Amino acid sequence: MDLLNQIIRQPVDPDYALVKARGDGPTRRGIAFAVVAIVIGAMFAVAAVQTNRSAPVLAGERTELISRIKAAETEQDRLRERATALADEIATLRAGALGDDDTASALQSQINALDPIVGNVAVKGPGLLVVVDDAPTGADQRQDRVLDMDLQVLVNGLWQAGSEAIAINGHRLSTLTAIRGAGDAITVDYRSLTRPYRVEAIGDPRTLHARYVESSGGIAWNELAQNRRMRYEISSMEEMTLEADPGMVLRYAKRAKS
């Protein structure tokens, strides 16, 4: 009963009552909280002002960078066309220099047989068109995006299946071609590709499709399509034309024996 009477007469703890009577406890805490809030608000305000000031600069730098990239690609296209024209001129001069004797004819036949293989001339014929792309969630998940190694595996599978010539998005491949990743982009000989990725392969229409499906590249991409939901479409083409590789240049030469 004494304890109940004390609770009824004095419901507030004496220590709390003492702090309230002095009036300094809550006030100090309130002042400290207000100071912290003001400091945080000032920091956010400064950050917002700096962001707004730097936004036009960043936008200008981005626009300038895009312009420089487009100008570089335009110049690269011009140089590729120039290289193709010079290659045709070289072929004409070479044919004239070889002459018409049996040795020259044999050498010219050998050159004509090797040119399509190394990508030095355009080729035409039937083959396969393989279109691949990121999965629907690929924008957010890196494992659901097509990577440079995925295209490498696909191309190696087509070579393994007996392809005579291959191009990715119109870029002819050769033994010297580099398929690499540059940030979020994939490049072929340092030229960025855009999605979707169209891989064209010329080869024997009777065997190319079946051999590719059974190759390491076909098996790997079938798994990517089923487990990662990546786009993977294969279609047979009656005829396609693959342009020459403009990056194919003479790297060494020796004088023919007389």
Tokens of 190: 């340092």
pLDDT at 251: 64
Report helix, strand or coil for 240.
Answer: strand
The residue among 8 and 226 whose pLDDT is bigger is 226
| pLDDT at position 198 over 70 | yes
pLDDT at 109: 76
Task: Give CA separation, 103 vs 20, 76, 99, 112, 256, in Å.
Answer: 113, 38, 9, 14, 12
Task: DSSP for 121-134, please give it.
Answer: S-EEEEEEEEEEE-
Q: Which H, E and C letters describe 146-200, residue by residue? A: CCHHHHHHHHHHHHHCCCCEEEECCEECCCCCCEEEECCEEEECCEECCCCEEEE
Helices (H), the chain: 2-9, 14-22, 25-98, 102-118, 148-160, 208-214, 216-227
199 pLDDT tier (thresholds 50, 70, 90): very high
Which residue type, as a one-letter code, is found at position 255?
A: R
The residue among 220 and 68 whose pLDDT is bigger is 220
Q: What is the pTM of this model?
A: 0.61
Phi, psi of 130 (to 5 degrees): -115, 120
Q: What's the CA gap between 257 and 15, in Å, rounded?
A: 111
248 pLDDT tier (thresholds 50, 70, 90): low
- Order of all β-strands in the sheet with 231-242: 171-172, 165-168, 197-202, 123-133, 231-242
Q: What's the CA gap between 111 and 144, in Å, rounded?
A: 43
> Which of the listed CATH numbers 3.40.50.620, 3.40.50.720, 3.50.50.60, 3.30.70.1880 matches domain 121-242?
3.30.70.1880
| pLDDT at position 234 over 90 | yes
| pLDDT at position 6 over 60 | no
Mean pLDDT of the chain: 80
Residue 90 burial (CB count, 10 A): 12
The residue among 38 and 254 whose pLDDT is bigger is 38
The model's pLDDT over 124-171, given as tens digits with 9 standing for 90+, comes to 999 999 999 999 875 556 778 999 999 999 999 999 999 999 999 999
pLDDT at 236: 93
pLDDT at 96: 74
| pLDDT at position 186 over 60 | yes
Q: What's the CA gap between 35 and 148, in Å, rounded?
A: 54
pLDDT at 225: 94
pLDDT at 10: 57
pLDDT at 191: 85
129, burial (CB in 10 Å: exposed 0-12, middle 13-18, buried 19+): middle
Domain ranges of the chain: 1-98, 121-242
b/e per residue, 102-118, with b = 16+ CB within 10 A? eeeeeeeeeeeeebbee
Mean pLDDT of 67-94: 79
Residue 11 burial (CB count, 10 A): 8
